[in-house]
A and B are shown apart, each in its own frame.
Chain A
Amino acid sequence: GESVGLHLPTLSVQEGDNSIINCAYSNSASDYFIWYKQESGKGPQFIIDIRSNMDKRQGQRVTVLLNKTVKHLSLQIAATQPGDSAVYFCAEIEVNRDDKIIFGKGTRLHILP
């Protein structure tokens, strides 16, 4: 069977509250960032992206903030819903280096009723 995996950090949020998921990235040369949502038994799903020439980008109920000074990325989800329960991964890319992305460790978002 599978080897025991690392314990994912978990964020528990009351339904209807806002969620903030944080990510520290590793490569100061990374210039493109993506947040993925992965529900149980499914592949990662693109949520929102941001380029390094921006510090904020908004989507529908989601906002991504980028702080290049401290290499920090955050995902804010407004009015959290039960369907937001998932593992969230940040990913970084150095666009002109190669075609690979580097995933962060992931955070499990748990919605409390």
Chain B
Amino acid sequence: DAMVIQNPRYQVTQFGKPVTLSCSQTLNHNVMYWYQQKSSQAPKLLFHYYDKDFNNEADTPDNFQSRRPNTSFCFLDIRSPGLGDAAMYLCATSLPRPSPYNTQYFGPGTRLTVL
């Protein structure tokens, strides 16, 4: 089945220790997104790629970086995790506009714990 895969599902890191989360997709979608979701809140968009074109949200801290080496893979790098970065990180993909259906398909998420 075509899908969005995130690894690892659970990640524990220490305060200040860099961490990388990965996402892969078999949907061949042009657009890939990274969201941060904290408890009882809606997902918050960090950035997205349209093919290799990177689009950062204005309020995304510099501590968060991303790489997309090819269509299938996208990585989220947190350079110096703080306690406030503990959250669920969601990857999503979609077809680009003007596709009639810009539905985003989400992966299962990576739960990040910062000690």
Q: Residues of A with Cβ closer than 8 Å to B?
A: 1-8, 32, 34, 36, 41-46, 49, 51, 89, 91, 93, 95-101, 103-106
Count residues of B near A (Cβ-Cβ below 8 Å): 37
Q: Given the complex of chains A and B, what is the CA–CA distance between A41 and B106 in angstroms? A: 13
Task: Name B36-75 residues within 8 Å CB distance of A.
Answer: 38-43, 45, 48, 50, 55
**Pair B109/A43 contact, Cβ less than 8 Å:** yes
Main SS of the interface on chain A? Answer: loop
**Pair A34/B103 contact, Cβ less than 8 Å:** yes
**Pair A105/B94 contact, Cβ less than 8 Å:** no
The residue of chain A having its C-beta at the shortest distance from the C-beta of B110 within the complex is A43
**Pair A6/B97 contact, Cβ less than 8 Å:** no
**Pair A43/B41 contact, Cβ less than 8 Å:** no
22 A-B pairs within 8 Å (CB atoms) are namely A3-B38, A3-B84, A5-B41, A6-B40, A32-B101, A43-B4, A43-B6, A43-B92, A43-B106, A43-B107, A43-B109, A44-B106, A51-B100, A93-B102, A96-B98, A99-B31, A99-B48, A99-B97, A100-B48, A101-B104, A103-B43, A105-B42
Chain B residues with CB under 8 Å of A46's CB are 103, 105
Q: Given the complex of chains A and B, what is the CA–CA distance between A89 and B44 in angstroms? A: 13
**What is the minimal beta-carbon distance from B64 to any residue of chain A, in angstroms?**
16
The residue of chain B having its C-beta at the shortest distance from the C-beta of A97 within the complex is B97
**What is the minimal beta-carbon distance from A86 to any residue of chain B, in angstroms?**
13
Chain A residues with CB under 8 Å of B107's CB are 43
Q: Given the complex of chains A and B, what is the CA–CA distance between A1 and B102 in angstroms? A: 34
13 further A-B contacts with Cβ under 8 Å, apart from A1-B114, A105-B42, are: A2-B86, A3-B38, A8-B40, A34-B104, A42-B108, A43-B108, A44-B106, A95-B99, A95-B102, A99-B31, A100-B48, A101-B102, A104-B42
